[in-house]
Structure 1
Amino acid sequence: MEEHGNTGFWTCDLITGQCSCSPGLLRVIGLEQARPFRMIDLIDQVHPEDRTYCEDIWSLIRSGVPVNRNFRIIRGDRTVRWIEFRSEVVLDAEQRPARAIGLLQDVSQQHESRQALDESTGRYRALIGTVATMEWRATAAGEPVFSHGWATLTGQRESDMLDGNWLSAVHPDDRDAVSAAWQQAVTSLSPYRSNQRIRRADGEYEWFHARAVPVLHKGGRSHEWLGMIIRHQDFAMLGNGGSATDPTVTPMQIRAGRAMLQWTLEDLSRQSGVSVSSIRRIEGEGERSTRPASLSAIREAFEREGLAFSDGNTVSLQRFPMSGN
């Protein structure tokens, strides 16, 4: 390890206070090779902001307590480095602390990597927080991992979610479509998207848009799923340039689109994530009777198959459908 210049070893006689170290340790802290090593030299190099964290190291060692700490030092060339300090105490025949041995390792690169990861995670969470009601995870097999966000939203406890029982928080009319869409995504490792009504902790149902993507190993196997849940109104505003009220597809266009693709109600439900009962209601009662995000999801399902929509009730097939039934 010393050949890489980031690790060194030291030993101290706790009776006389005399210390010695390896050449690697002197390289780590930036001292001259010919200069004798003293523990006070290391303590003096500790960064001012970390000094209170390190001032008891020598007293702990002398009392026989092992030490393992990370802190910054300022080297002779004025560079700041993060180091990991470890020590163990050797007892004499009378079980009293007699000698301490330890390791000093430059961990600046690891610390910077962790800091970059923390900053990246912070940016990710801040971004998610601006658009999503909550984020969620699931195992590679598709079993959702307990989330405090889900508990806050639905009132479900961790035990309530096991064995697929998280679906009990989904409206009965939407459960089959949600379950089918999720299982299809897990089986095919394809992105998951679904519109569904979720029972909130206050007992009321509200429309949400859920989506997730698989996180894959290099070999293509799923490692886990990462997803988010967005309130339908927020999702509709994101997808419609800030308008959550303008219809995106008419009942006549939906019926025409199904006819052109030879889709049943169940086919459209599976492709859009909107329940069969909702689609039947939209076709019969019109777009004013449903959530704008459901209309957006239906239109997106048609557009993925090559349908194009224009003002009025016009719908046309621009290319061959990509999926069959």
Structure 2
Amino acid sequence: MPTRSLMRLTQSEGEAVPPTSPAFSSRNLLKLVEDMGDVGFWTADMRKDRVEASVGLYRILGLDPAQEMSFGIGLDLIHPDDRAAHGDQISVLRSGQPITREFRIIRPDRTKRWILHRAEVMLDPDGRPNQGMGVVFDVTGRHDSVTSMEQRHARFNALLSATAAVFWINGPDGEPLEMPQWQALTGQSHLEMSGQGWLDAIHADDRDRTAAAWSTAVSHATPYNTDYRVLCADGIYRWFNARGVPILDHDGSVREWVGVCLSVPGRNRYGFSKGASGGATYASDDGEPIVTPAQIRGARGVTGLSKDELARRARVSVSTIVRLEDATSSIKPRPDTLRVVRQVLEEAGVTFTFEPGAKPGLRET
């Protein structure tokens, strides 16, 4: 069926409805397309230099529509760094070959744009290129998005490198998905680290504790935060702090886990410092007391907070709260974790006391 017949309504087969408005011309159609996006068109006699350009093309090139368009003007707008690779477009078309090119232009106002140019030619009866036609898209937005994403990726990689961090992604069930940096750190293959295989790279003395902390985080969909020694590919055990969070879908289910392993120099963060009372006291790096296991247990009793609720408010795992309340634990938690837990308990209505000569205590606010 001829294209023009598709644009006409019919009462019945073979009977056309008289048009009630002027025919919809190809010029109207091109204008409609141009008004919907950054696109322009051109046609030309390939044996000449003059080009018939649409308003959209003038807009993309930043030219005055009253200005006569030519192939030379278009080629002069190509960015100097792209001219060597894309300055042959008209020559290629005049040889009878179609083109699809993506390159930069510099408009008369000195702004830079990325454009996609697609064109082809029609041959005369003798097989020589006669008429040419093309379409030009402004694809600057797409290039800007790609560039921005590449910059964010480069910054992220630089941050990981600067902090000696290992980035990891696990599935909603806690199984490893993407851990190429872990593989590089430990020398494990993807198969070796799959399932619970990654635990094989953890020091035997830390393995059960690490597995329990991860299992608790996964089962409760709460943040994961623990420390362990990793057998690195060079055969040396090194301490790392592993922390991760669940990424939730709209229905609240876990879509995946993301996290990092941060290098921890030395072992001075492990073990207890002794307070004036002779009992175990969690202290900051400079020796200032923060809170004791007994104070945490007592504060939960006073405020009525469950371990799950305290963990949720402090954004730590339930296993972390269990360890914080265990005075016999051989693992010293990080001061920042203790401060967050203490802050949550204080906001819930208790005040912690550290009076000289007396045991650490607490009272209702």
Same topology, TM > 0.5 = yes
Distance 1:207 1:245 in 2: 10
Q: CA RMSD in A?
A: 4.4
How many residues are treated as equivalent by the alignment? 298
Query: Is the alpha carbon distance of 1:220 and 1:62 closer, same or farther for their aligned partners in structure 2, counting shifts above 3 Å?
Result: farther
- Structure with the larger helix share: 1
Structure 1 match to 2:101: 68
**TM-superposition CA deviations, 1:242-270 (whole Å, max 9, x none):** xx579765462366458646999xx9995
Q: CA deviation at 1:75?
A: 2.0
Q: 1:70-121 CA distances to partner (integer Å, 9 max, x unpaired)? A: 31x2223x13131222314357589887665432222334433443444444
The one-letter amino acid paired with 2:211 is: S
Q: Distance in 2 between matches of 1:279 and 1:30?
A: 73
The verdict on how the C-alpha distance between 1:43 and 1:269 changes in structure 2, with shifts beyond 3 A counting, is closer
Which of 280, 283, 298 is residue 252 of structure 1 equivalent to?
A: 280
Q: Structure 2: how far apart are the matches of 1:214 and 1:66?
A: 48
1:103 aligns with 2:138: no
- d(CA) in 1 for partners of 2:46, 2:175: 56
8 Å Cα contact 1:189/1:214 also seen in 2? yes
Aligned equivalent of 2:345: 306
Verify the 8 A CA contact 2:171 2:257 in the aligned structure 1. yes
- 2:320 counterpart residue number: 272
Report the alpha carbon displacement of residue 280 of structure 1 after superposing the two structures with TM. Answer: 5.1
Is residue 361 of structure 2 the alignment partner of residue 316 of structure 1?
yes
Q: Does the C-alpha gap of structure 1 residues 189 and 295 become closer, same or farther in structure 2, counting only changes over 3 Å?
A: closer
Equivalent position SS for 2:229:
strand
Query: How far does the alpha carbon of each residue in 1:28-72 deviate from its partner, in whole angstroms, 9 at most, with x for none?
Result: 11223244433322110122233233223334444525323131x
**Identical aligned residues as a percent:** 28
SS at match of 1:179: helix
Q: Matched residues in 2 for 1:82 and 1:303: separation?
A: 55
Give a deviation string over 1:134-177, Cα, whole Å, max 9, x none. Answer: 22233445333333321221011223222342222223343343
Gaps of 5+ in 2: 1-32, 282-291, 347-351
Distance 2:199 2:127 in 1: 62
> The residue matched to 1:145 in structure 2 has which SS?
strand
The CA deviation at 1:209 is 0.3
Is the alpha carbon distance of 1:97 and 1:178 closer, same or farther for their aligned partners in structure 2, counting shifts above 3 Å?
Answer: farther
Q: Would the alpha carbon gap of residues 115 and 153 (structure 1) be closer, same or farther in structure 2, given more than 3 Å must change?
A: same
Whether the 8 Å CA contact 2:101–2:117 is kept in 1: the answer is yes
SS for the counterpart of 2:112 is: strand
In 1, the alpha carbon distance for the partners of 2:272 and 2:126 equals 85
1:195 CA drift (Å):
1.2
Does the CA contact (< 8 Å) of 1:81 and 1:106 recur in 2? no
The 5 Å alignment of 1:175-214 reads: 175-214=207-246
Change (3 A) 1:208 1:116: same
Letter of the 1:227 counterpart = G
Contact 1:249/1:296 (8 A) holds in 2: no
The aligned residue for residue 86 of structure 1 is 117
One-letter code aligned to 2:112: R
1:158 paired to 2:190: yes
2-side partners of 1:269 and 1:139: how far apart? 18
Between 1 and 2, higher relative CO (CA 8 Å, sep ≥ 6) is seen in 1
Distance 1:167 1:81 in 2: 52
After superposition, residues 223-262 of structure 1 pair within 5 angstroms as: 223-233=255-265, 249-250=273-274, 252-253=280-281, 256=294, 260=298
Work out whether residues 196 and 273 of structure 1, in 8 Å CA contact, stay in contact via their aligned partners in 2. no
Larger C-alpha radius of gyration, 1 or 2? 2
1:128: how far off?
A: 3.9
- C-alpha spacing 1:193/1:58, structure 2 compared with 1 (3 Å): farther
Whether 1:37 and 2:69 are equivalent positions in the alignment is yes
